[in-house]
Amino acid sequence: MARIEFDQIAHSYYPNPREPSDYALKEINTLWEDGGAYALLGPSGCGKTTLLNVISGLLQPSRGRVLYDGTDVTALPPEKRNIAQVFQFPVLYDTMSVFDNLAFPLKNRGFNRADTIRRVKEVAEILDLTQDLNKKAAGLSADAKQKISLGRGLVRSDVAAVLFDEPLTVIDPHLKWQLRRKLKEIHEQLKLTLIYVTHDQVEALTFADQVILMYEGEIVQIGTPEDLFENPRHKFVGYFIGSPGMNFLPCTLEGQNARVDGITIPLAEETAALGAKAAGALELGIRPMHIEVHAAAVNDGVPVTIEAVEDQGSFKILSTTLNGHTLRARVPEGHPVPERQAWLRFPPLRTKLFADERLVI
Amino acid sequence: MEKWADNKAWLLVLPVFVVVAFSAIIPLMTVVNYSLQDIFGPGNAVFVGTEWFKEMLTDKRLHDALGRQFIFSGLVLLIEIPLGILIALAMPKKGWSASASLVTLAIPLLIPWNVIGTIWIIFTRPDIGLFGVGINSLDLLDIPFDHTARPAYAWVTLMAMEVWHWTPLVALLCYAGLRAIPEAYYQAAKIDGASSWAVFCYIQLPKMRGVLTIAVLLRWMDSFLIYAEPFALTGGGPGNSTTFLSIYLVKLATGQFDLGPAAAFSLIYFLIVLLFCFIFYQVLLNVGKGEKIS
């Protein structure tokens, strides 16, 4: 178990990187606490797998240091780092039994037979694999196989962290939540540092205590799932998290109010003050679920045209236009949906301001 | 499943059936026909039943040729399969050097059989061949190297020819098999602290099983039917030392014109090849697949 620290980590797949865009990881400085469940979230190509491979040692970063509990491990190969990694698809030794698969990392490290048997049995117990120990690993279902690859990591008692690289991609949907719950259980039971890479926000938000959102080789925000949802620090966080993502409207500031194409939207006092200090192009951002939808004109209401209504089951998504800007609003089930014309109200406390794509702070 | 009342789709199979009939079934039936008769000339044949089969099954020269054939094909597999795997493992994985080694490896495969024979005869000739003259000038052998002089020399030349010609095929198949292994397997093995020998035993070899099955079958069948190389080299000599099944068969059929025994021999030959292909296929398909482990 270990605290993981990144000190100015940067990586490029090119031998001689020049432009910032040559870097898969731009510059990462962060600290992950021992025993935390972290999710690395981001779209494909944002550098999350690269960062994971830097942690595991499968990749040597171009610059910077990785520290485990304060010890520099940057130069250590993966087998010396005591980490476990679970890959996108189950990686098994096909010709071996489940027992031999689980015992393999111990065998390679010269553990004696009795210790090996004891450890393998313990891990099999945790993962509900005891009844399969004597079976061939190749014949099992995808979720059992994924548990075996996880078990190969857990079998070493001193494992520093368990890394998951989109481990549920090949698992049937109905087994996904079971396996995810199993991971949670293991986390609570063993107090291991878990790092989970995914592009699926639902997975990240349900799994992790802390979500690390990455975008174009940089960490844009680290926070609890609520934090990411309520206080996106970057425009990207706003529209990546949430379905649909945050609404953005280019605006100007006028005292306490934001002006969007001549329409006045009131802001919270604090927000307006921060906005006044910020430099760069201002944008107003609000989550679809925070927008109030009214069928008749209300105080501070903005008149919009309704373009489409999408029924999502427990709620409806309204697509509306305001002077050519698209605004999406979420209407709970049972709430009347106006036709063609509606008035939207932006609760000032929920309305955020962004300057040059970053939240004003 | 519901049965179709309209079975016209069978007609679509007809072209294939006609082609196979002319390319395989009819010639094979001709052989069966010959094997059951004693033919003295056109329109002058006597039905003899299984007599030719009995004769061939007890033929000592056939037994000797079969024995030689097994030793030869066995040696071919023993040398070419491990060597092919080694070459595939040593080959570069990407870049121009990978393409260059692939092309270089493929060259022997493009050369016709009898040309290969000629190349190696010239190469090993004791008077003008690079190898023949070279090894004799070293004065290491008690009898100067000459593939017509001693059975061992003929065999060495033949094996060298066969290995040079066909190991690239095994290597290319293995290379394709190795390249198909996802990177994650190697990464997982690294994290598990596996040695490179363990990586070979538990990842590379099991993942190559499919291509190795094909390689073993192809090399077995092909070497079991070898004809052009020994024919070009010594015509089956010195003595009978390189008279393999096909050489003996051709001697019988076109040399002595014993069509009946030769036809019976052909069928026996065919069945042996088929039997061994079946055995290899079954063994390789099931190896390491048993459910119970101690």
What is the chain B residue with the closest CA to A96? B202
Residue A152: which of B192, B195, B198 has the nearest Cβ? Answer: B192
- Residue B288: pLDDT above 60? no
Mean of the per-residue pLDDT values for chain B? 86
* Same domain membership, residue A248 and residue A216: no
Mutation site for B-interface testing, chosen from A94, A116, A148, A158 by largest number of B Cβ within 10 Å: A94
* Same domain membership, residue A229 and residue A303: no
Q: Which among A243, A270, A294, A222 is positioned nearest to A41, based on CA atoms?
A: A222
What is the chain B residue with the closest CA to A155? B192
Q: What angle do CA B288, B290, B294 make, to 5 degrees?
A: 100
Backbone angles phi, psi at A34, to 5 degrees: -60, 135
Chain B positions in Cβ-Cβ contact with residue A138 (cut-off 8 Å): 289
CB within 8 Å: B188 and A85 = yes
Among A239, A264, A287, which residue terminates a domain? A239
Contact A234/B at CB under 8 A? no
Chain A positions in Cβ-Cβ contact with residue B206 (cut-off 8 Å): 93-95
Chain B positions in Cβ-Cβ contact with residue A95 (cut-off 8 Å): 202, 206, 288
* Same domain membership, residue A340 and residue A229: no
Chain A positions in Cβ-Cβ contact with residue B203 (cut-off 8 Å): 93
Instruction: Return the CATH number at A55.
Output: 3.40.50.300
At residue B291, the pLDDT reads 42
- In B193-232, the residues whose Cβ lies within 8 Å of chain A are 193-195, 198, 202-203, 206-207
pLDDT level of residue B289 (50, 70, 90 thresholds):
low
Query: Tens of pLDDT along B120-163?
Result: 888 888 888 888 888 888 877 777 888 778 888 888 888 998 99
The helix/strand/coil state of A225 is helix
* Same domain membership, residue A174 and residue A257: no
What is the complex's ipTM, to 2 decimals? 0.77
- Residue B287: pLDDT above 90? no
Owner of token pair 């008149």: A303
Among A216, A239, A262, which residue terminates a domain? A239
Give helix then strand counts, H and E, for chain A: 9, 22
* Same domain membership, residue A250 and residue A300: yes
Domains identified in chain A, total number: 2
Per-residue pLDDT of chain A (361 residues; tens, 9 = 90+): 678 888 888 888 888 877 777 888 888 888 888 888 888 888 888 888 888 888 888 888 888 888 888 888 888 888 888 888 888 888 889 888 899 999 998 888 888 888 899 989 988 888 888 888 888 888 888 888 888 888 888 888 778 888 888 888 878 888 888 888 888 888 888 888 888 888 888 888 888 888 988 888 888 888 888 888 888 888 888 888 887 888 998 888 888 888 888 888 888 888 888 888 888 888 888 998 888 888 888 888 888 888 888 888 888 888 888 888 888 988 888 787 888 888 888 888 888 888 888 888 7
Contact B188/A at CB under 8 A? yes
User: Per residue in A259-275, is it b (16+ CB within 10 Å) or e — as a string?
Assistant: ebeeeebbbbeebbebb
| Alpha-carbon distance A64 to nearest alpha carbon in chain B (angstroms) | 22
3-state secondary structure chain B: CCCCCCCHHHHHHHHHHHHHHHHHHHHHHHHHHHHCEEEEECCEEEECCCHHHHHHHCCHHHHHHHHHHHHHHHHHHHHHHHHHHHHHHHCCCCCHHHHHHHHHHHHHHHCCHHHHHHHHHHHHCCCCCHHHHHHHHHCCCCCCCCCCCCHHHHHHHHHHHHHHHHHHHHHHHHHHHHHCCCHHHHHHHHHCCCCHHHHHHHHHHHHCHHHHHHHHHHHHHHHHCCCHHHHHHCCCCCCCCCCCHHHHHHHHHHHCCCHHHHHHHHHHHHHHHHHHHHHHHHHHHHCCCCCCCC
Chain A positions in Cβ-Cβ contact with residue B182 (cut-off 8 Å): 89, 91
* Same domain membership, residue A259 and residue A191: no
CB within 8 Å: B292 and A56 = no
Bridge partners, A195 (sequence order): A38, A163
At residue B72, the pLDDT reads 93
Q: What percent of chain B has pLDDT over 70?
A: 97
* Same domain membership, residue A187 and residue A128: yes
At residue B14, the pLDDT reads 92
Q: Which domains does chain B have, with CATH numbers?
A: 60-286 (1.10.3720.10)
Instruction: Return the CATH number at A310.
Output: 2.40.50.140
* Same domain membership, residue A264 and residue A161: no
At residue A8, the pLDDT reads 84
- Between A and B, how many residue pairs show a Cβ–Cβ distance under 8 A? 67
At residue B74, the pLDDT reads 93
| Alpha-carbon distance B69 to nearest alpha carbon in chain A (angstroms) | 33
* Same domain membership, residue A67 and residue A179: yes
At residue A202, the pLDDT reads 83
Query: Tens of pLDDT along B50-80?
Result: 888 888 888 888 888 899 999 999 999 999 9
At residue B293, the pLDDT reads 38
* Same domain membership, residue A226 and residue A87: yes
C-alpha span between B289 and B294 (Å, rounded): 14
CB within 8 Å: B184 and A91 = yes
Q: Which among B157, B158, B141 is positioned nearest to B247, based on CA atoms?
A: B158
* Same domain membership, residue A344 and residue A314: yes
- Residue B290: pLDDT above 60? no
In this structure, the number of other CB atoms found within 10 A of the CB of residue A52 comes to 21
Q: A114: domain range?
A: 4-239
Contact B140/A at CB under 8 A? no
* Same domain membership, residue A284 and residue A174: no
Among A239, A271, A303, which residue terminates a domain? A239
